Amino acid sequence: MAKVPVQFTLNGSEKAEFVESGTTLLAALRDKIGDTSPKGGCHQGTCGACSVIIDGELRLSCLTLAETCGGADIKTTAGLAEGGVLHPLQRAFLDAFATQCGFCTPGMIMAAKVLLDRTPNPSREDVVEALSGNICRCTGYEPIIQAVLLAARANSQNAA
Amino acid sequence: MSLALRTFSSMKDANAALQVSGTRYLGGGTLVVRAANEGDVAVSSLVRVDDPGLSQIAVSGGKVRLGASVTMAAVARHPELAALAPAARAVGGPAIRNMATVGGNLFAPAPYGDFAVALLALDATVVTEGGEMPIETFLAGRDTSRVIVTAVGFSLPRAESFRFLKVSRVKPKGVSVLSIAALLELAPDGTVTSARIALGCMADRPIRAKAAEKALLGCKLTQQEIAPALAAAGEGIAPITDPVASAWYRAEVLPVHLGRLLLN
Ligand SMILES: Cc1cc2nc3c(=O)[nH]c(=O)nc-3n(C[C@H](O)[C@H](O)[C@H](O)COP(=O)(O)OP(=O)(O)OC[C@H]3O[C@@H](n4cnc5c(N)ncnc54)[C@H](O)[C@@H]3O)c2cc1C
Ligand code: FES
Ligand code: FES
């Protein structure tokens, strides 16, 4: 199968790779580029563990073909910490015990990030809705909801 | 997985490429890439068209035209499409809605196709390069259709005349037990003067509840007067069975939910 070039920005840095036509973005990120923060849980669109942010919108990297991402701005959880300092969402997930096995966590954090970017002070319902495409088999969800609300409060305190 | 993707700038060339066996059009990919991930070898190549016009929403003079690549998220947030937002928001979770297209929803087998149920109630027109056809005709022939849908068109309903309901077990984003869309016109005294009702999960694709539509004419929307329409709702249905619900269960609860939609 012919290889095709793909070029995009990942967490602020330019990436260029050759992939087989039909390669998913999830496979390209994990197996080619080495960003293993998006997880492959189901490859069916149902678990949300592979969620990434493409041009500001939450998407499932398991159902996105890499070659459709030419020129895109892609963000993953691996790019959130700055200079070894965790992002407020990452901090809140630790503080609220919102991560157990951790498999769902990068997807949850991506879904929460697009929410907080648009709605800095979300209601509980907003959070539930924003995370509704992400499955967690460990926590029972409540700590995750609390973590997102905690991160929102931390952000607004920092801004004040 | 080996899937060859070819991108065309011309609809004509893409339609020609689609005639090759094993080739499918790539919309948002939520069904077709999923099928490939699952090992469906029936799909060996995909085609797409990079025409920005396919993602356009046009609303003017009470008419709406949605390009086939318009996503559920784009419909849900469009200020002039508030009447359709509940149907668009009924599809999947936030990431799915950012990907799932209007065109793809027309092909989605039950329990999917919630937005297509709304389009069927609205008597939408399905547009291809070859011309336009009523959505009912399109849905009936979709299994053998080898042509790219470019847009759908319909008259924008007044918010109060259009109702949509999706019943699911997992809130807020589970797949449908059933979905119902109804376009109802009422006389000033509340009598139903026209009714068009579409059902999801009551066959392998959206269907109309024609007997119920007929039974509603001349009725007021009261428990008593809608009773014959609810009794007729099951005429001609062949609900699907899946892990969410059996055909029997879906048929049993259909009149209950139709009643709630009408009385709401
Ligand atoms: C986790 C999950 C949850 C979901 N939940 C729902 C739900 O609640 N409700 C619901 O209705 N659906 C749901 N879906 C199904 C699906 O996401 C939607 O039906 C969506 O609208 C399909 O659109 P798409 O663009 O992704 O289709 P694609 O996967 O791109 O295409 C689907 C089929 O349609 C054909 N096609 C697509 N566009 C065109 C076109 N313009 N012309 C000709 N052929 C075309 C393709 O060739 C393919 O055969 C869900 C899917 C997943 C994975
Ligand atoms: S791996 Fe993409 S949604 Fe589960
Ligand atoms: S922490 Fe294990 S799946 Fe969520």
First to last CA, chain B: 48
Q: What pLDDT, on a 0 to 100 scale, did the predictor assign at position B46? A: 97
Query: Taking residues B188-207, what's their average pLDDT?
Result: 98
pLDDT at residue A160, rounded to an integer = 65
pLDDT score of B29 more than 90: yes
Give the chain A residue nearest B43 (alpha carbons): A22
Q: Which CATH superfamily is domain A3-79 in?
A: Beta-grasp domain (3.10.20.30)
A132: left (phi over 0), alpha (psi -120 to 50) or beta: alpha
Q: Write the single-letter amino acid at B137.
A: T
**Residue B41 contacts by C-beta under 8 Å, 6 or more apart in sequence?**
none
Q: With 0.95 as the threshold, say if the pTM is over it.
A: yes
Exposure string for B58-88, b = 16+ CB within 10 A, e = fewer: eeeeeebbbbbbbbbbbbbebeebebbbbbb
Contacts of B173 in chain A (CB under 8 A): 132-133
Q: State the average pLDDT over residues B25-49.
A: 95
Q: Which residues are CB-neighbours of A87 under 8 A, at least 6 positions away?
A: A80, A81, A109
CATH of the domain at B221: 3.30.390.50
Instruction: Outline which parts of chain A fall under CATH 3.10.20.30.
Output: 3-79
Cα B192 to Cα B183: distance, rounded to the nearest angstrom: 10
pLDDT per residue over B64-73, tens digit each?
999 999 999 9
pLDDT single digits (tens) A89-118: 999 999 999 999 999 999 999 999 999 999
Using the mean position of ligand 3's atoms as its centre, give its distance from the Cα of residue A81 in Å.
Answer: 20
* DSSP codes of every residue in B177-198: EEEEEEEEEE-TTSBEEEEEEE
Residues B130 and B191 in one domain: no
Contact of A151 with A117, CB cutoff 8 Å:
no
For residues B221-238, give the mean pLDDT.
98
Q: Structure tokens of A127?
A: 């959070």
| Sheet strands side by side (includes B23-25) | B4-8, B45-49, B23-25
Q: Phi then psi for B221, rounded to 5 degrees?
A: -85, 70
pLDDT at B1 over 70: no
Same-domain status, B100 and B192: no
| pLDDT tens digits along A16-61 | 999 999 999 999 999 999 999 999 999 999 999 999 999 999 999 9
- Domain hosting B68: range is 52-155
Q: What is the pLDDT averaged over residues B115-132?
A: 97
How far apart (Å, rounded) are the C-alpha atoms in residues A63 and B37? 8
Tell me the pairing of strands B63-67 and B57-60: antiparallel
List the residue whose alpha carbon is closest to atom 4 of ligand 3.
Answer: A136
* Chain A residues contacting B via beta carbons under 8 Å: 1-2, 4, 20-24, 43-45, 48, 51, 57-60, 62-65, 67-68, 111, 114, 128-130, 132-134
CATH number at residue B91: 3.30.465.10
Last residue of a domain, one of B155, B180, B198: B155
Least confident of A62-66, B14-18, B63-67, B169-173: B169-173
* B207-215 average pLDDT score: 98
Between strands A73-75 and A3-10, the pairing is: parallel
The 10s digit of each residue's pLDDT in B230-248 is: 999 999 999 999 999 999 9
CA B63, B67, B70, B72 dihedral sign is positive
The segment(s) of chain A belonging to CATH 1.10.150.120 are 88-159
pLDDT at B264 over 90: no
- Total structural domains in chain B? 3
B131-167, pLDDT tens digit by residue? 999 999 999 999 999 999 999 999 999 989 999 999 9
DSSP letter, residue A29: I
Residues of A in contact with B172 (CB under 8 A): 128-129, 132
Instruction: Give ipTM to 2 decimals.
Output: 0.96
| Homologous superfamily (CATH) for A88-159 | [2Fe-2S]-binding domain (1.10.150.120)
Question: Domain boundary at B30, B49, B68, which?
Answer: B49
Q: Which of B14, B32, B49 is the last residue of a domain?
A: B49
Q: Quick check: A28 and A67 in contact, CB under 8 A?
A: no
B110 Cβ below 6 A of ligand 1 = no
Please, what's the b/e burial string for A87-119 (b: 16 or more CB within 10 A of its CB; e: otherwise)? bbbbbbbeebebbeeebbbbbbbbbbbbbbeee
Q: How far is CA B88 from CA B114, B164, B225, in A?
A: 8, 10, 31
Dump pLDDT digits (tens) for B48-66: 999 999 999 999 999 999 9
Task: Write down the mean pLDDT value for chain B.
Answer: 96
H or E element that contains B26? none
Quick check: A1 pLDDT over 70?
no
**Torsion B41-B45-B50-B51 (CA) sign:** negative
Q: Between chains, do B92 and A45 touch, taking CB under 8 Å as contact?
A: yes
Q: What is the pLDDT of residue B3?
A: 87
What is the maximal distance between C-alpha atoms in chain B?
61
- Residue B60's DSSP bridge partners are B63
Token readout for B49 is: 């068209």
Q: Is B172 helix (H, G, I), strand (E, B) or coil?
A: coil
pLDDT tens for residues A59-79?
999 999 999 999 999 999 999
Residue B171 pLDDT grade (very low, low, confident, very high; cuts 50, 70, 90): confident
Q: Pick the residue of A58, A67, A148 with the most B CBs within 10 A to test the interface with B by mutation.
A: A58
Residues 6+ apart with CB under 8 A from A141: A131
CA–centroid distance, residue A108 to ligand 3 (Å):
10
Average pLDDT, integer, range B11-25: 96
**CA A97 to chain centroid:** 18
Closest residue by Cα to atom 12, ligand 1, is B112
